[in-house]
Amino acid sequence: MNRTKIDYLNYTWNPTAGCRGLGCAVREKCWAWFQLKRQKPQANGRGCQLCYEFIPHVHSERLDEPLSLSKASRIGVSFCGDLYDRDIDPHYRRRTFSIVNKCARHRFLVLTKQPQNLFFEPYSYPSNLAVGVSVNVYKDKWRIDTLRGAPVNLRVVSFEPLYEDLGEVNLEDIGWIIIGAQTRPTFIPETEWVTSLIKQAHARDNPVFIKRNYSKFNLEEYPESWKAMS
């Protein structure tokens, strides 16, 4: 588990890595993929070929990592891939959530671009786990509608990077909004696009977190259950 520069998290935890990238608007500019490119196998035995190729796979040796973290923290789960990629064994997801359950002091966040896979497995989600979808372009908005049916305490939508004007967005039953730009290569959303999302979220009293890579707004709001974390 690693300390992270992601503004709204303290750590990232990658019990799985990689993603098939179907329907992904950022596939060729994926931050996670660039991160895993550093895992190229070396003669000294370091590195991971599956990480390097961004093929969905598990890292069971990382599964227990949150258990050793005593200070209450915000933790992103599988941010170097998609935990809900259909190539990830559902049994392993259940094992992942069992660790989340054992760490009630922490708050965990999973983001997926494949929310249709949220409903194939009959289990109860941990109360300290937030589940969200990434929405980058207009055609991604179906992910929000799908997420709405997920039986979780906190539903999150991450508009990062935001590539275009999304118009009216149905944020009913969504508990937190995250908005950001893109770095390497840089893409800065238009102010009007961001302003529209902020107004729509605040109309429902939803907290909005604007990442620091979009410096036109200073807005770092958290859901109540996340405010007390370190």
pLDDT digits (tens, 9 = 90+) for 77-122: 999 999 999 999 999 999 999 999 999 999 999 999 999 998 876 6
Any domain includes 113: yes
- Residue 118 resides in a domain: yes
Q: Judge whether 52 lies within some domain.
A: yes
- 40-49, 73-82, 189-198: the lowest-pLDDT one: 40-49
- 228 within domain boundaries: no
Q: Give tens-digit pLDDT for 120-133.
A: 766 789 999 999 99
User: Does the structure show a pLDDT above 80 at 63?
Assistant: yes
Q: Model-level pTM?
A: 0.94
Model confidence at 27, pLDDT cuts 50, 70, 90, reads confident
In the chain, how many domains are there?
Answer: 1
CB 51 within 8 A of CB 112: no
Under DSSP, the state recorded for 18 is B
CB-CB contact of 11 with 75 (8 Å):
yes
Judge if the upstream peptide bond of residue 185 is cis by omega within 30 degrees of 0. Answer: yes
90 in a domain, yes or no? yes
Please give the share of the chain, as a percent, with pLDDT higher than 70: 98
Per the domain annotation, does 227 fall within a domain?
no
- 197 occurs within a structural domain: yes
Would you give the end-to-end CA distance of the chain in angstroms?
A: 16
* Residue 149: pLDDT over 80: yes
Q: Residue 102 falls within a domain, yes or no?
A: yes
Which CATH number characterizes residue 28's domain? 3.20.20
Residue 230 has pLDDT above 70, yes or no: no
> What would the mean pLDDT of 27-53 be, rounded to a whole number?
82
The Cα 218–Cα 85 span in angstroms is 33
pLDDT of residue 122: 62
Would strands 107-112 and 74-77 be described as parallel, antiparallel, or unpaired? parallel
| Range in 72-76, 96-100, 179-183 the model is least confident about | 179-183
Arithmetic mean of pLDDT, 44-72: 92
Mean pLDDT over all residues of the chain? 92
pLDDT recorded at residue 169: 97
- According to the model, what pLDDT value does residue 40 have? 81
Mean pLDDT of 9-28: 89
Domain encompassing residue 125: 2-220
Percent of the chain with pLDDT over 90: 74
Is residue 174 over pLDDT 90?
A: yes
Write out pLDDT tens, residues 201-215. 999 999 999 999 988
Q: What angle do CA 21, 47, 90 make, to 5 degrees?
A: 45
